[in-house]
Amino acid sequence: MLKVRIIPCLTIKDLRLVKSIQFSEHRNIGSYIAAVRVFNMRDVDEMMVLDLDATHTGIKPWLLQEITKECFMPLSLGGGIKTVEDISMLLRLGADKVVINTSAVNDPSFIDNASAQFGSQCIVVSIDAKLVNGEYHVFTNGGRKNTRLRAVVWAQEVTKRGAGEIFLTSIDRDGEMNGYDLSLVKSVSEAVTIPVIAGGGAGNMGDCLKVIQEGGASALSAGSIFQYTEVTPLAIKEHLAKNGIATRI
């Protein structure tokens, strides 16, 4: 069994580190470079950085290069990725993986092409899901557009098309710190054969344990818990290990 990974997720808007609540109310919480430097020292397995403006303003190579120069752990970059040329550029800048969302929904063959050219291990498909009339729908464009796709069905398709991992975020739980959406995570984890990174809702170490034990996630991503509490990635890994979950300590 693969060891569970702890993956801090940094979101950037207007060149500042921000934290959202349900994909809105973006709060400025400081410098993204300072955050990268802190996580360098905190026994983090991987890190994810998403440029929320890139979908509209385009990818900023200088911004991402600034981050990759400071990051000494495996790094996934996302935001505004629309072509295989974009992916190639991010990998050259130092990314280990790329995170794609809206472009994958708009043209699912983009996943096939990307995984064929760069390998599935480089391709993380982000799925932002929200509960609508009793069903989990996939949203794009920063959570603004309901695609009407069902999360489980889309997760199965991206798996077939060559995605290496799924980054699954509950829009309803984003920034709320009241626990992951276990129903969402479990339904997707049981439907696919690739790792699922659970995001949205971590408020304490118990939440992190539940999303692995009950949700079946392969890894967990978090933001608010690291910014607003004293909980560290190492503390979470130690808590998981004490409860029989294999982690990278």
pLDDT digits (tens, 9 = 90+) for 4-50: 999 999 999 999 999 999 999 899 999 999 999 999 998 789 999 99
CATH of domain 5-242: 3.20.20.70
- Residue 169 CB partners (closer than 8 Å, separation 6+): 126, 127, 128, 129, 199, 200, 221
pLDDT greater than 80 at residue 170: yes
Quote the percentage of the chain above a pLDDT of 70.
Answer: 100
Rg (CA), the chain: 16
Structure tokens at 132: 């609508």
Residue 54 in tokens: 């890139």
Q: What is the mean pLDDT of residues 115-132?
A: 98
Is the pLDDT at 1 greater than 70? The verdict is no
The DSSP secondary structure of the chain, one letter per residue, reads: -PPBEEEEEEEEETTEEEEEETTEEEEEEE-HHHHHHHHHTTT-S-EEEEETTHHHH---HHHHHHHHHH--S-EEEESS--SHHHHHHHHHHT-SEEEE-HHHHH-THHHHHHHHHH-GGGEEEEEEEEEETTEEEEEETTTTEEEEEEHHHHHHHHHHTT-SEEEEEETTTTTT-S---HHHHHHHHTT-SS-EEEES---SHHHHHHHHHTT--SEEEESHHHHHSS--HHHHHHHHHHTT--B--
Is the pLDDT at 249 greater than 90? The verdict is no
Average pLDDT over residues 138-142: 94
- Distance in angstroms (rounded) separating the CA atoms of residues 43 and 249: 8
Whether 90 and 77 have beta carbons less than 8 Å apart is answered as: yes
What is the model's pLDDT at position 132? 97
Q: What is the pLDDT of residues 51-62, one digit of tens each?
A: 999 988 999 999
- pLDDT tens-digit readout, 181-219: 999 999 999 999 999 999 999 999 999 999 999 999 999
Rounded to whole angstroms, the Cα distance separating 10 from 142 reads: 15
Specify whether the CB–CB gap between 198 and 217 falls below 8 A. yes
Q: What pLDDT score does 158 carry?
A: 98
Measured from the Cβ of residue 70, the count of other Cβ atoms closer than 10 Å reads 16
This prediction has a pTM of: 0.97
